[in-house]
Chains A and B, each alone.
Chain A
């Protein structure tokens, strides 16, 4: 009898959970967005998408919900959550929904998620994370869904009409320009070595196992420190002894303890610095930190007390705002707004912000956290959506998201 009751209760819970899902009239056999709209902005049969005027920003446009799948590696990551909060905000103004993956760990998980998104009627996939590289992008577009993301694989897929773009931090005027991860490392390394510190260390994260993003950041930090030293900085750094390799674990914490007990007075990390804050407090030292992180409560106290003196920050709406514009434009019949003059997918130039003072940090903190506002509003986003603003151009799209910290703070 107890078992029967337990089973009934479990079943009730399962059905209750399922009943909690948002009602969506569009759930049904996967409509194939690739056949509904073409990159030229035409409807099937060659009909031009009618220009819209006076579209209300109340969540009723587009008429058919645009569903977008999001590939994630850690749904509790602060940067990722910041981006998704921005998309949630936009969801109040546009009829767009996001389906977020569980933490993707393996190529087969990524393929399965893409398949599920196709079945759920998604129009596109936002590759916040990508494991299988260009293969995953091809798998997505082969099912008629648009794909956004992953600069690394841009050359392989830029000509694919269903690949709509990605961001880049590169200096577009310099053919040999370094990528955003290198530049983030460079800025951090230069800032820390120019801060009057005596001896600094570095955490290199995934560089030790060959993850390209971390290799680039590490190279940037080393060059940044070297550049500052060439300009007269007396900050000491020896790559042979001053690197904390990998991610937090036994050897990582052993090296951390060695550094905090030694003559070091600062460190630069190619990822977040959360695991350093409590040990720094415990050590009682005046120890400075430079990190790649987020504007959040986790960092605020340590920025305010002068521990964190340099923070490289990817502002969600600036760096990833073009995800929304590109995918929604493509899905609503304005895929022409996702192609450059050469016919290839857009490479949206954007900017990583280096917050090197508490004032800058707190200005962004106040905007985002205290006031709950964004540097790119829903109204501004609407201006680059072809379905809302028939006069929108590719240049408008490119310009909106190329926002420097100075531009943002002066808004």
Chain B
């Protein structure tokens, strides 16, 4: 009799635990999307529709591009377990060199090639450090970020800002609407490309395995060096596109360009529901959803006319809410790596 009772209690406990886990996982998966919808709805109401006006949607599409491009590309790197804090520095260096190439040649195409080449060279450098040097990778990226900034200062000499209007041949100017269309098209194409690579080629699976546990990934036969190089190249594509579109939009580059992108990318990934330690919960959508959430939030708060302090407090609180909800689905008892 007592044994039957204990068995029933254990069974009930197991069911309850399973149900709680499913609920928590479901809530965690839905949280980033729910957070985005909530932010959009709340600010659309508070701003009486100004948030969703055509001109603001155009503005937001151009604003989101920088963080979104970098974050989508960074999903590969963070997913593989590499904590990269030098993304902002890479965008800045690529933008400055790209701008100088455009000014020297008067050609967007040459400028894009320069931006792409710089981004890929930097990615190769980072991947070599990540693959072969047995030091926590984020330490390298902190140093690299400083080196990139110093390089930019050296390249710019006595200039504080580079203007594309000083190009040897006039470079075409894109108006507000054209820039919005270009931004949306490029972002959509890059997002689809990354989803395909991540979901329908082995790279995504390998990256997630490496992020989960690099030792077991090696023991499973994954070539971690090749995978590392590939994930950094994917990130470099995002950096290059972001830097190029940034130049098209602002037509300037300075040592402060993309100064906050590094942290924005990390915040975007977390808001998008992806753990920064990478692993199996890595998803491409995290980069896009998180970047859009940040942009909508910033835009909404600015439209409301809050003071700087109020904006920072409100933004911090929203981040805490989304991260708390997302964390409901994190596994709290991992085996030691």
Chain A positions within 8 Å of B, measured between CB atoms, are 3, 6-7, 10-11, 13-15, 17-18, 20-22, 24, 27-30, 67, 75, 97, 99-103, 105-113, 115-121, 131-135, 139, 142-143, 206, 209-212
List, in ascending order, chain B residues with CB within 8 A of A111's CB: 62-63, 249-250
Q: Is the CB of A119 within 8 A of B53?
A: yes
A6 to B327 CA separation, bound complex (whole angstroms): 13
Q: Is the CB of A120 within 8 A of B161?
A: no
List, in ascending order, chain A residues with CB within 8 A of B55's CB: 30, 115, 118-119, 143
Q: Is the CB of A119 within 8 A of B160?
A: no
Q: Which of A3, A14, A131 contacts B256 (CB 8 A)?
A: A131
List, in ascending order, chain A residues with CB within 8 A of B219's CB: none
Shortest CB–CB separation between residue B39 and chain A, in angstroms? 10
Contacts beyond the supplied A14-B314, A30-B55: 6 A-B pairs with Cβ under 8 Å: A10-B317, A27-B303, A29-B53, A108-B258, A110-B250, A119-B59
Q: List 15 A-B contacts (CB under 8 A).
A: A10-B317, A14-B318, A17-B310, A18-B314, A24-B305, A106-B260, A107-B253, A108-B249, A109-B260, A116-B56, A118-B59, A120-B305, A132-B251, A135-B163, A209-B158
Provided the pairs A27-B47, A29-B50, A108-B250 are in contact, do residues A14 and B305 lie with their beta carbons within 8 angstroms? no
Q: Is the CB of B159 within 8 A of A210?
A: yes
B271 CB–A CB distance under 8 Å: no
List, in ascending order, chain B residues with CB within 8 A of A107's CB: 161, 246, 250, 252-254, 256-257
A22 to B310 CA separation, bound complex (whole angstroms): 12
Q: Is the CB of A119 within 8 A of B257?
A: no
B324 CB–A CB distance under 8 Å: yes
A242 to B24 CA separation, bound complex (whole angstroms): 66
**What 1/0 mask marks residues of chain B from 114 to 146 whose CB sits below 8 Å from any chain A CB?**
000000000000000000000000000000000
Provided the pairs A7-B325, A24-B305 are in contact, do residues A30 and B157 lie with their beta carbons within 8 angstroms? no
List, in ascending order, chain B residues with CB within 8 A of A212's CB: 160
A284 to B259 CA separation, bound complex (whole angstroms): 41
Shortest CB–CB separation between residue A119 and chain B, in angstroms? 4
Q: Is the CB of B320 within 8 A of A210?
A: no
B308 CB–A CB distance under 8 Å: yes
**What 1/0 mask marks residues of chain B from 29 to 64 whose CB sits below 8 Å from any chain A CB?**
000000000000010001111110101101110110
Q: Is the CB of A17 within 8 A of B313?
A: yes
List, in ascending order, chain A residues with CB within 8 A of B311's CB: 102
A135 to B166 CA separation, bound complex (whole angstroms): 12
Shortest CB–CB separation between residue B12 and chain A, in angstroms? 20
Q: Is the CB of A119 within 8 A of B250?
A: no
Shortest CB–CB separation between residue B129 and chain A, in angstroms? 27
B306 CB–A CB distance under 8 Å: yes
A352 to B325 CA separation, bound complex (whole angstroms): 55
Contacting residues of chain B (290-337) with chain A, CB-CB under 8 angstroms: 298-299, 302-308, 310-314, 317-318, 320-321, 324-325, 328
Closest to B310 in A: A17
Closest to A120 in B: B303
Would you call the interface of chain B mostly helix, strand, loop, or mixed? helix
**What 1/0 mask marks residues of chain B from 61 to 81 whose CB sits below 8 Å from any chain A CB?**
011001000000000000000
Q: Is the CB of B160 within 8 A of A210?
A: yes
List, in ascending order, chain B residues with CB within 8 A of A67's CB: 305
Q: Which of B66, B161, B308 contacts A102 (CB 8 A)?
A: B308
List, in ascending order, chain B residues with CB within 8 A of A27's CB: 47-48, 50, 303-304
A101 to B298 CA separation, bound complex (whole angstroms): 11
Provided the pairs A10-B320, A105-B260, A211-B160 are in contact, do residues A119 and B299 lie with their beta carbons within 8 angstroms? yes
Q: Which of B62, B256, B305 contacts A21 (CB 8 A)?
A: B305
Q: Is the CB of A209 within 8 A of B305?
A: no
A14 to B250 CA separation, bound complex (whole angstroms): 33
List, in ascending order, chain B residues with CB within 8 A of A139's CB: 176
Q: Is the CB of A112 within 8 A of B298?
A: yes
List, in ascending order, chain A residues with CB within 8 A of B252's CB: 107, 131-133, 135
A11 to B38 CA separation, bound complex (whole angstroms): 11
Q: Is the CB of A210 within 8 A of B258?
A: no
A135 to B312 CA separation, bound complex (whole angstroms): 28
List, in ascending order, chain A residues with CB within 8 A of B66's CB: 108
B46, B47, B320 pick with most chain A CB within 10 angstroms: B47
Q: Is the CB of A17 within 8 A of B317?
A: yes
A113 to B53 CA separation, bound complex (whole angstroms): 16
Q: Which of B46, B153, B257, B258 contacts A209 (CB 8 A)?
A: B153
B165 CB–A CB distance under 8 Å: yes
Closest to B307 in A: A100
A112, A116, A120 pick with most chain B CB within 10 angstroms: A116
List, in ascending order, chain A residues with CB within 8 A of B201's CB: none
List, in ascending order, chain A residues with CB within 8 A of B302's CB: 99, 113, 116-117, 119-120
Q: Which of A3, A29, A115 contacts B49 (CB 8 A)?
A: A29
Q: Is the CB of A116 within 8 A of B59?
A: yes
B6 CB–A CB distance under 8 Å: no
A14 to B298 CA separation, bound complex (whole angstroms): 14
Q: Is the CB of A133 within 8 A of B60?
A: no
Shortest CB–CB separation between residue A323 and chain B, in angstroms? 18
Q: Which of A11, A17, A210 contacts B157 (CB 8 A)?
A: A210
Q: Which of A30, A206, A209 contacts B50 (CB 8 A)?
A: A30
B220 CB–A CB distance under 8 Å: no
Q: Is the CB of B258 within 8 A of A135?
A: no
Q: Is the CB of B249 within 8 A of A115?
A: no
Closest to A139 in B: B176
Shortest CB–CB separation between residue B277 and chain A, in angstroms? 21
